[in-house]
Amino acid sequence: MGKTYAELLEDVKGSVKTVSLEECKRRLEAGEDYTFVDVREKDETRAGYIPGAVMLPRGFLEMQAEQKLPDKKANIIVYCAGGVRSAFAAQALQDLGYARVESANPGYVRWKDMRYPMETPPDLSPAQLDRYARHIMLPEVGEAGQEKLLKSKVLLLGAGGLGSPSSLYLAAAGIGTLGLIDADVVDASNLQRQILHGTSTVGVPKVESGKQRLKDLNPDIEVISFEERLTSDNVDRVFDMGWDVVVDGLDNFPTRYLVNDASIWKNIPVVHGSIFRFDGQVTTFVPKDGPCYRCLYPEPPPAHLAPSCAEAGVLGVLPGIIGTIQATEAVKLILGQGEPLKGRLLMYDSLQMTFRQLKLRRDPECPVCGEKPTITEYIDYEGFCSR
Amino acid sequence: MAITVRIPTPLRTLTEGKDEVEAKGSNIREIIDDLEGNYPGLKERLCDDKGVRRFVNIYQNEEDIRFLDSLDTAVKDGDSISIVPAIAGG
């Protein structure tokens, strides 16, 4: 003869340690080392949960516990709405070998009535939950990370070879605001590599063609276009819009130095990518925390030693690789995940199919970010490599 | 002593298209002079009268020689020297 529900509950309550909400609040506010585990269903946690709680719905508890709670010796407080599901969940965790489990009593309904600290989940619409589902299921992104992406602003310099793949992937990732600056119009000869544009937009300004394509890929985002060349005259106006990250896919030295100097003074990280024929270089410059472009190359080469892409040619796929790495770096910076390419120059050789890394160091004598800067205002270098 | 020097794409016109060449010398300065003997014009692309040009970096293995002993950086058998020029294409 099986047990009745009442008997089963009685048994479970007898074998699980309970903890009062007052004590839970005290531990939370004292910053003591406890992991709160919310075993309610998703539609319940949507209205709020205890700050920092791990979401582990009762139905998935046994399946997901070891993934979400790797330390079986951790101090765990399980809670639900009223204390029943949490008691069963605490029992299940004990059965799985978790040594220090308590069940909060009663639960979140009372917690909320007491106006104890709570957190609400990111406010993503059902359409967003669907569109970004493959991001959200990554623990390193989750709904909170996706919300960060949606609230972030990334400025893309150049809507050409590098800017094409990076803007497409950043738009797809749901970067809420993308800035696109480029003064050119789409030319048929661009289409060998600039996949942001198409045959139907030949003759159209690149920022306009790009905006159309990005909005089609993801109508969720805003695209701000600047149909102009970046110069010392407009760099302040373009940069002072609260960008979280700048992705540099420019095609010439003078502007790259301008971007570097501005980003140091305005404290904006720059994901740098550059290509030449079959080779690419990528690195991430984080102002004052890592080297800058001038630590790496203090001055641009003179025009006669700097052949342009137009003269030199470039393998069409190459910017696809480098621009995509740039987009990856931008997303990582916004999420605060992983190791950025700070202080590392990633060199790609498409013919040999090799990736190599070189160490970059901050130069204490750097003319911009060093101890005694000698460059304190924008420099307009002699223009070259214009198409 | 034979040292391997990696030649970047922009300079391969001077090395008959080779992406890696051998050079002899006990420090970077000697290596560059040896390269110049075999591939005339290369030195001018790497150095000016003050030393290594400011838009080119030379690496001994994974380290920038500017943070070692610059042109006097000693090299040994088996070292790999890389020339890393600034490139700007996008």
In a domain, A367, yes or no: no
Q: From chain A, pick out residues whose CB is under 8 angstroms from the CB of B12.
A: none
In a domain, A157, yes or no: yes
Q: From chain A, pick out residues whose CB is under 8 angstroms from the CB of B88.
A: 250-253, 256, 274, 276, 300, 306, 385
Q: What's the CATH number where A16 sits?
A: 3.40.250.10
Q: Which of A275, A281, A301, A290 is nearest to A369 (CA)?
A: A290
User: Is the domain of A101 the same as that of A157?
Assistant: no
Residues 6+ apart with CB under 8 A from B9: A276, A277, A278, A279, B19
Put simply, the answer to whether A305 touches B86 (Cβ < 8 Å) is no
pLDDT at B64 over 70: yes
In a domain, A176, yes or no: yes
Average pLDDT for runs of 10 along chain A of length 387: 90 94 96 96 92 94 94 97 96 96 96 94 91 95 95 98 98 98 98 98 98 98 97 97 98 94 98 95 96 93 68 90 98 97 96 93 94 93 55
Put simply, the answer to whether B89 touches A275 (Cβ < 8 Å) is yes
User: Is the domain of A294 the same as that of A177?
Assistant: yes
User: Is the domain of A194 the same as that of A249?
Assistant: yes
Chains A–B, number of C-beta pairs less than 8 Å apart: 90
At A332, the amino acid letter reads: K
User: Is the domain of A81 the same as that of A203?
Assistant: no
Instruction: Report pLDDT for A387.
Output: 37
Please state the three-class secondary structure of A195-252 as a single string: CCCCHHHCCCEHHHHHHHHHHHHCCCCEEEEECCCCCCCCHHHHHCCCCCEEEECCCC
Residue B67: closest CA among chain A residues belongs to which residue? A361
**Side-chain-facing half-sphere of A325: CA atoms under 13 Å:** 22
User: Is the domain of A117 the same as that of A156?
Assistant: no
In a domain, A127, yes or no: no
User: Is the domain of A90 the same as that of A157?
Assistant: no
User: Is the domain of A171 the same as that of A292?
Assistant: yes
User: Is the domain of A187 the same as that of A74?
Assistant: no
Q: From chain B, pick out residues whose CB is under 8 angstroms from the CB of A352.
A: 19
Instruction: Report pLDDT for A308.
Output: 55
User: Is the domain of A158 the same as that of A16?
Assistant: no
User: Is the domain of A43 the same as that of A93?
Assistant: yes
Number of domains in chain A: 2
Residue B81: closest CA among chain A residues belongs to which residue? A358
Domains of chain B, earliest start first: 2-85 (3.10.20.30)
User: Is the domain of A113 the same as that of A157?
Assistant: no
Q: What is the DSSP string of B8-74?
A: PGGGGGGTTT-SEEEEE-SBHHHHHHHHHHHSTTHHHHHEETTEE-TTEEEEETTEEGGGTTGGG-B
C-alpha A329/C-alpha A284 separation (Å) is 7
**Side-chain-facing half-sphere of A4: CA atoms under 13 Å:** 2
Q: Of the residues A80, A292, A295, A309, which is catalytic?
A: A309
Question: Beta strand pairing status for B51-52 and A354-359?
Answer: unpaired
Instruction: Report pLDDT for A386.
Output: 41
Instruction: Report pLDDT for B1.
Output: 61
C-alpha A39/C-alpha A56 separation (Å) is 5
pLDDT at B48 over 50: yes
CB atoms near residue A383 (< 10 Å) = 13
Put simply, the answer to whether A305 touches B55 (Cβ < 8 Å) is yes
pTM of the model: 0.81
Residue A362: closest CA among chain B residues belongs to which residue? B67
Please confirm, yes or no, whether A309 is among the known catalytic residues.
Answer: yes
* Domain extent at residue A62: 5-121
Distance from CA of A239 to the nearest CA of B (A): 20
Q: Is A271 in the B-facing interface, judged by CB distances under 8 Å? A: no
Put simply, the answer to whether A277 touches B9 (Cβ < 8 Å) is yes
Instruction: Report pLDDT for A383.
Output: 59
Please answer whether residues A245 and A330 qualify as being in contact, where contact means their C-beta atoms are separated by less than 8 angstroms: yes
The region that residue A234 occupies, defined by phi over 0 for left and psi between -120 and 50 for alpha, beta otherwise, is alpha
Which of residues A98, A121, A144 is at a domain's end? A121
In a domain, A194, yes or no: yes
Q: What's the CATH number where A312 sits?
A: 3.40.50.720
Put simply, the answer to whether B59 touches A297 (Cβ < 8 Å) is no
User: Is the domain of A163 the same as that of A43?
Assistant: no
In a domain, A168, yes or no: yes
Q: What is the ipTM of this complex?
A: 0.90
Burial tier of A159 (Cβ tally within 10 Å: 0-12, 13-18, 19+): buried
In a domain, A243, yes or no: yes
C-alpha A238/C-alpha A292 separation (Å) is 20
In a domain, A241, yes or no: yes
Tokens 């003997």 belong to B37
